[in-house]
């Protein structure tokens, strides 16, 4: 065995690797291999998360009585406020459904969710990805939207048997269609590759977008459910001479601090938004969202 | 180093060291420390190639790289290619490597890790998943070269303690 020429082995390995790379980029044939290896990699991911888990456990054990009582009080207040909001929501929802029926449009915001814990962060600074502790066995599928309590986080791009990878909205290769909650102006929200910074692309200088505007998902491109908060505009720079204004936003979700996320389980097919704007924008947005999806070969949607 | 004629033993120990290296690859670090995370799995692989060149070689490199690909979610084959090449060069140079002084060994490790990372970076670039400029891989290559000697000491101890040959 030791006498076999290592150069031949290298050649075989190189050819095999190149074929793998090509197949992984152009097709889904190697997904079963990735899936099978997932059984071996998931335990390592879980193990790497153990120290964090243990630290949290110790913190919980050593919390003082007064701290606990304080947090209980705060939570009770929060529940009261939320319950009051829900009361109004039920009425609004019924009314909304009635009105939508009148319009013959069937957008549905309801979706069941699955709670998952984040067990890993991508060690490569070039990529903004997370690993969660739910996989195919918990019926997680590619393309599912991932949220936290404050807003959208990203989408599932890869599913293993026991874990899944989530592409964050801040990743440089990610873009999605959003609209301003205040007036329905639509734009493309792209990641910058840096945590908690997003950019609105191709927004005409005259568009009515201000600092503090809430951007919500439009559901165009069929990847994300409609109507979830995504980001808040932090700065709008009009540059004289440039055709588009330079708009920066910050995700509403706490991408760097979350420990648990929600996976939107069953997405209703969404109808296109009813608001009337130029069709080119819409097509562009849908195309971009598709390009950022998991199936296409590494499209660099932002550039 | 032991004679080649001896019966190989301790494959399990080698696998355990690689799993520990895999853990170190993904254990969460702060953003700054993340830049100087050494290529643990490649270093451990290189050590085993260096001390058991007739057992651990290109195919091990390929397998370990493939495992890393799935672990960190890169294009399947990206690290497999880089690690196979790294193992190959170490296998070709192990005799010289063993007599090199400390600093020179670290320099070779720096070159090996650096070129493997550059290769992986190029593949990732072609897939469109890079964001920072290529010189950023230098940080972890330097860190790998610095950590090489201490790591060698630890792995040597493991090798002698558990009779890996």
Q: What is the CATH number of the domain that holds B87?
A: 1.10.1760
Q: What is the mean pLDDT of chain A?
A: 82
Q: Which pLDDT score is estimated for A279?
A: 39
Q: Which of residues 70-109 of A touch B (CB under 8 A)?
A: none
Per the structure, the count of domains in chain A is: 2
Answer whether A13 sits within 8 Å of B62, measured CB to CB.
Answer: yes
Q: Is the pLDDT of residue A205 over 60?
A: yes
Instruction: Please compute, for residue B22, the number of CA atoms within 13 A of its CA located in the half-sphere on the CB side.
Output: 24
What residues in chain B have per-residue pLDDT under 50?
A: 1-2, 4
Answer whether B129 sits within 8 Å of A14, measured CB to CB.
Answer: no
Answer whether B35 sits within 8 Å of A24, measured CB to CB.
Answer: no
- Tell me what percent of the residues of chain A surpass a pLDDT of 90: 42
Answer whether A23 sits within 8 Å of B76, measured CB to CB.
Answer: yes
Whether A94 maps to a domain, the answer reads no
pLDDT tens for A120-170 read: 888 888 899 999 999 999 989 888 999 988 889 999 999 999 999 999 999
> Which residues from chain A sit within 8 angstroms of residue B71, using beta carbons?
41, 44-45
Per the structure, the count of domains in chain B is: 1
Whether A238 maps to a domain, the answer reads yes
Q: Which pLDDT score is estimated for B120?
A: 94
- Tell me what percent of the residues of chain A surpass a pLDDT of 70: 83
Burial of residue A3, with CB atoms counted within 10 A of its CB: 0-12 exposed, 13-18 middle, 19 or more buried: exposed
Query: Would you place residue A289 in the very low, low, confident or very high pLDDT band (cuts 50, 70, 90)?
Result: very low
- Tell me how far apart the alpha carbons of residues A197 and B103 are, in angstroms, rounded to a whole number: 42
Say if residue A24 is in the same domain as residue A166: no
Question: From residue A88, how far is each of A98, A112, B81 by CA, in Å?
Answer: 16, 21, 58
> Which residues from chain A sit within 8 angstroms of residue B92, using beta carbons?
6
Query: Would you place residue A108 in the very low, low, confident or very high pLDDT band (cuts 50, 70, 90)?
Result: low
What residues make up the domain containing B51?
Answer: 11-161
Whether A123 maps to a domain, the answer reads yes
Whether A102 maps to a domain, the answer reads no
Q: Copy the structure tokens of residue A176.
A: 């999605």
What residues make up the domain containing A13?
Answer: 6-44
Please give the residue that has the higher pLDDT: either A223 or A159: A159
Whether B5 maps to a domain, the answer reads no
CA angle A146–A121–A156, rounded 5-degree value: 30
Query: Taking Cα atoms as reference points, which of A279, A289, A271 lies closest to residue A230?
Result: A289
Q: Which pLDDT score is estimated for A275?
A: 40
Interchain CB contact of A121 with B (< 8 Å): yes
Answer whether A38 sits within 8 Å of B70, measured CB to CB.
Answer: yes
Q: Nearest CA of chain A to the CA of B117: how many Å?
A: 12
Q: Which pLDDT score is estimated for A206?
A: 85
Contacts A–B by Cβ distance under 8 A: 130
């Amino acid at each position: 065995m030791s006498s076999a020429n290592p150069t031949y082995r290298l050649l075989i390995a190189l050819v095999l690797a190149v074929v793998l790379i090509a197949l992984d980029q152009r097709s889904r044939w190697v997904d079963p291999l990735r899936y099978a290896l997932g059984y071996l990699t998931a335990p390592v991911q879980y193990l790497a998360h153990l120290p964090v888990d243990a630290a949290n456990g110790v913190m919980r054990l050593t919390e003082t009585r007064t701290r606990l009582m304080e947090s209980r009080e705060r939570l009770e207040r929060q529940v009261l406020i939320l319950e009051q909001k829900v009361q109004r929501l039920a009425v609004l929802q019924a009314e909304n459904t009635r009105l939508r029926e009148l319009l013959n449009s069937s957008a549905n915001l309801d979706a069941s969710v699955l709670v998952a814990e984040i067990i890993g962060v991508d060690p490569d600074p070039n990529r903004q990805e997370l690993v969660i502790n739910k996989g195919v066995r918990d019926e997680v599928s590619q393309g599912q939207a991932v949220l936290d309590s404050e807003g959208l986080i990203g989408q599932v791009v890869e599913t293993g048997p026991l874990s899944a990878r989530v592409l964050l909205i801040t990743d440089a290769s990610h873009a999605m269609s959003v609209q301003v909650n205040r007036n329905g102006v639509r734009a493309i929200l792209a990641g910058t590759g840096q945590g908690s910074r997003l950019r609105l692309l191709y927004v005409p200088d005259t568009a009515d977008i201000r600092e503090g505007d809430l951007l919500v998902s439009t559901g165009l491109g069929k990847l994300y459910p409609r109507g979830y908060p995504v980001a808040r505009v932090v700065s709008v720079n009009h540059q004289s001479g440039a055709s588009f204004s330079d708009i920066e936003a910050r995700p509403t979700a706490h991408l760097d601090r979350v420990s648990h996320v929600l996976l939107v389980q069953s997405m209703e097919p969404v109808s296109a938004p009813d608001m009337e704007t130029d069709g080119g924008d819409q097509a562009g947005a849908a195309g971009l969202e598709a390009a950022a999806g998991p199936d296409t070969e590494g499209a660099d949607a932002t550039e | 180093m032991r004679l080649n004629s001896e019966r190989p033993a301790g494959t399990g120990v080698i696998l355990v060291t690689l799993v520990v290296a895999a853990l170190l690859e993904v254990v969460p670090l702060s953003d700054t420390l993340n830049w100087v995370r050494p290529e643990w799995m490649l270093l451990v692989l290189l050590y085993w190639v260096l001390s058991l060149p007739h057992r651990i070689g290109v195919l091990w490199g390929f397998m370990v790289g493939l495992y890393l690909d799935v672990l960190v979610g890169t294009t399947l084959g990206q690290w497999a290619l880089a690690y196979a090449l790294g193992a190959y060069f170490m296998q070709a140079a192990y005799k010289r490597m063993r007599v090199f002084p400390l600093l020179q060994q670290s320099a070779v490790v720096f070159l090996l890790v650096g070129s493997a990372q550059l290769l992986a970076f190029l593949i990732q670039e072609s897939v469109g998943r890079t964001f920072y400029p290529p010189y950023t891989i230098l940080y972890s290559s330097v860190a790998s070269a610095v950590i090489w000697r201490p790591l060698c000491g630890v792995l040597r101890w493991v090798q002698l303690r558990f009779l890996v040959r």
